[in-house]
Structure 1
Amino acid sequence: TTLRNAQPLSVACSKGQVAVAHNGNLTNAIELRRELEEDGSIFQSTSDTEVILHLVARSRERTFAGALRDALLQIEGAFSLVFLAEDRIIIARDPHGFRPLAMGSLKVPGEHDCILFASETCAFDLIGATYTGDVEPGEMVIVGPEGMTREHYTTPEAPAHCSFEHVYFSRPDSVVFGKPVAESRELMGRLLAREHPVEADVVVPVPDSGVAAAIGYAAESGIPYRQALIRNHYVGRTFIEPSQAIRDFGVKLKLNPVRHLLEGKRVILVDDSIVRGTTSRKIVRMVRSAGAREVHLRISCPPTVSPCYYGVDTPSRHELIAANHNIRQIEEFVEADSLAYLSLESLRESLKDSDHHFCYACYTGKYPTLVQIEEIVLAKTGCC
């Protein structure tokens, strides 16, 4: 929340000038930070990413690559990392592969092909680059004057790709964890329609992440699809805003109803998830105020009952509405005529996850790694 936490973080040390950007969350950052501070380290931010820089700087390995290997073997949790040193870039991914990390190439006339890295493949499309595959879990890729080398700095663990990337975070035009996001979301909508049909006049998405699921729901149910909520793309994600007042105001700025598409209609409203429930209630009220006769809310993932400790900024368990209320109580809270969620089995089917390579901890409470839950919660609430 401060400028010092803004990425990339940079430090000058015995290994040279080093900068790092990090997608994910370290589950043992509090413990490591405490040990480093007791050993004399002075931190400039509250970011868990800075822990990695201190580990690199304090390593007895002589080379930057060696120091980074040393640091990577000490951190736990989710991390897709890019390091920029004076003459090379080093990319690393955690052993479970929680967060996506794609590779691409770009042909430059008269030059060697450029090697690119991004969290989503749509970044390659925008500049005319080609997606060539993913950095593997537990892998480190070094790009320097001598070319590119790839190595596993540790043995990969059981895959635990974040299912919420496909539900919500990723852009629909990306390929994430080797699977097209739009295809996954449309199948979520189709399976949702099979599981929870309802008589209605129109299917309306909550843009943007609800769009593909709503298209699937409409196609499966035969009910017309209508883009009856228009999104202002200059407003960010409302569920991760720090205060309720800001979240409420953000909903009004973010969405505007198309009245003539809603007036007198029985509406199926398709959204990707419900976190606190307050945003969903605002949207249901908005659709009703535009003249809808009925509002049936359909959610393209299971109820979120547990916080994420791997890089999704979900609130603590006591703020998650599905952790403390049953579906009928949530239905009443959001003021919908009916509410239904996609089952966990259907979410797995949507992701074609027969090999159980995805993490579903936010829906099940079963985490793929040991996490220092109490300490992480205290850190999130500012109590330590």
Structure 2
Amino acid sequence: MCGVIGIYSKSNVATSLFYGMNSLQHRGQEATGMAIDNGEEILRKRAMGLVIDAYTEESLRELAGNIGIGHVRYSTAEGSHDYNIQPIMGFVGGETIAIANDGNLVNYQVLRERLEEEGMMFQTTNDTEVILYLITRYYDGDIVAAIKKTMKVIKGAYSVTALVKGKVVAFRDPNGFRPLVLGRDEDDVIVASENAAIEIIGGQMTRDIGAGEILVIDETGIHSDHFESEDTPKNCIFEYVYFARNDATLDDINAYTFRRRCGEILWEEAPCDVDLVVPVPDSGIPSAIGYAQAAKIPYGEGLVKNRYMGRTFIKPTQKERDMAVKLKLNPLGDVVKGKSIVLLDDSIVRGTTSRNLIHRLREAGAKEVHMRITSPPVKYSCYYGIDTPNRKHLIAANQSIKEIEENIGADSLAFISMDGLARAGKKSIDNYCIACFNGDYPVDPTVI
């Protein structure tokens, strides 16, 4: 999971890209980059770390041009290395192509091996480079035709922004796993992973970019084409459960409303007689509000968040995640002491965060700590861009709910049902990819 943005404008875009990428920082905190077309060449700057640290006013002035793309990176299987920072660039027929991607190809390794056998030399371990190589292979001046041929070959999740000869190009996989939206600010056209990146720079989201859709934005306007496929849209349910910002509205579902509804439904499915409802910030806040309102139980801030910490789930190693939890969340003893509380969180993936929080809340004086989770148990690995590569890391894949309850030290534990999740989104569950819950993968992860 990463964040992408592309802007076609009549003025310099570097500053707008900077602010847009900042608003997508929750989608990836390990590295960032932008590429800008100045009419003569594509300029690029990339760096490890956060957007705010990667660019100075001087560097943004140097990146002069009215067309650009940006990326914030969260590494999955490829690892966190500077050579994997996007956008990446390739050259064909005297032209430069730069691309940035959010997603993960399930047939990346097979495609890479085939390309290497044909003499291709790779500069990264990033599956985005495979997409770039295939586009440049098929490109003869018609970028849409090259993308369609590429989409016939690649399998998995991808939401891509690209720069090609005075154009911003965006395309989304036929399942629409990862989000991609379109917006405008007067004459400017913006594509991004979430609407916040459009709104923060003064634009308005106009619509979602459809599953399998290919957009080309140039001086003549916005041109839409589609890759014909038998696949059906399967938006990732975890975007609404956890990844997207609370203010994101993706494929007609608002993340805040979805999460609050999950809390209300959890109260119906798993009521709890407690003194206080406490959220795990930030994605647990709307669900805790919904739970508290439905239960008519007071809502309290029992955990104080360090706003300068990143998201613990997307830290690359378990040791970093453990340290980040301690730095990020601290119990508020005056609120929880002597009280029985119910803790609302979006998911239990490995179990270490929940165990740590419950232990520290008890140390702070909480009398009872119950947990309610606004997603079903995560039992299966994700192959579409989330860092759960092996089921041995998923506590629910190896333990029953009762065993998890004992493992994390909760007085009780309950997860929302699949039906409850569908009710929260007010759509059939068939509209979502829920493979992490039931192992039913829309794209076979063993495909070759």
TM-score after normalising by structure 1:
0.93
* Structure 1 CA distance for aligned equivalents of residues 224 and 230 of structure 2: 14
- Residue 272 of structure 1 corresponds to 346
Contact 1:307-1:314 at 8 Å conserved across structures: yes
1:95 aligns with 174
Q: For residue 181 of structure 2, what is the amino acid of its counterpart?
A: A
- Alignment partners' CA distance in 1, 2:351 and 2:261: 24
- Do residues 325 (structure 1) and 399 (structure 2) align? yes
Contact 1:240 1:314 survives alignment (8 Å) = no
Aligned AA (2:129): E
- After superposition, the Cα gap between the structure-2 partners of 1:269 and 1:36, relative to the gap in structure 1 and judged at 3 Å, is same
Range 162-171 or range 144-153, more displaced = 144-153
Distance 1:244 1:276 in 2: 9
What amino acid is the match of 2:164?
Answer: A
Identical positions, percent: 44
CA RMSD of aligned residues (A): 1.5
* Equivalent residue in structure 1 for 2:252, among 178, 185, 195: 178
Q: Who is 1:157 aligned against?
A: 231
Farther off after superposition, 235-244 or 159-168: 235-244
The answer to whether structure 1 residue 225 and structure 2 residue 299 are counterparts is: yes
Distance 2:172 2:301 in 1: 38
Please give the alpha-carbon distance, in whole angstroms, between the structure 2 residues aligned to 1:324 and 1:355.
25
SS at match of 2:386: coil
CA contact (8 A) 2:383 2:389 kept: no
Q: Deviations over 1:108-153 (max 9, x none)?
A: xxxxx21111111122221221110011111100011222111113
Aligned to 1:287: 361
> Structure 1 residue 355: deviation in Å?
6.7
Contact 1:24 1:80 in 2 (8 A): yes
Tell me the CA shift for residue 60 of structure 1: 5.8
Q: How many residues align?
A: 369
Equivalent of 2:311 in 206, 218, 237: 237
Which secondary structure does the structure 2 equivalent of 1:91 belong to?
Answer: strand
Which residue in 2 is equivalent to 1:360? 434
Match of 1:249 in 2: 323
Where structure 1 has 5 or more consecutive residues not aligned to the other structure, the ranges are: 108-112, 376-384
CA contact (8 A) 1:142 1:150 kept: yes
Q: Comparing 30-39 with 144-153, which one deviates more in the overlay?
A: 144-153
The list of structure 1 runs, each at least 4 consecutive aligned residues, that deviate by more than 3 angstroms after superposition, is 60-65
Tell me, in whole angstroms, the C-alpha distance in 2 between the residues paired with 1:39 and 1:7. 24
Match of 2:82 in 1: 3
2:106 is aligned to: 27
Letter in 2 for 1:48: D
Q: Which amino acid aligns with 1:194?
A: E
Aligned equivalent of 2:136:
57
Match of 2:54 in 1: none
Would the alpha carbon gap of residues 266 and 60 (structure 1) be closer, same or farther in structure 2, given more than 3 Å must change? closer
1:312-342 per-position Cα deviation (integer Å, ceiling 9, x unaligned): 2224111100000001110111111111100
Deviations 1:166-217 (A, max 9, x none): 0000011110111111111000000001111111000000000100000011
CA distance in 1, matches of 2:323, 2:98: 36
Letter of the aligned partner of 1:263 in structure 2? K
SS at match of 1:356: helix
CA apart distance, 1:231: 1.2
> Secondary structure, in 3 states, of the residue corresponding to 2:430?
coil
Q: Is the 8 A contact 2:144 2:214 kept in 1?
A: no
Partner Cα distance (1:61, 1:70) in 2: 12
Please report how far the alpha carbon of residue 370 of structure 1 lies from its aligned counterpart in structure 2 after TM superposition: 1.5
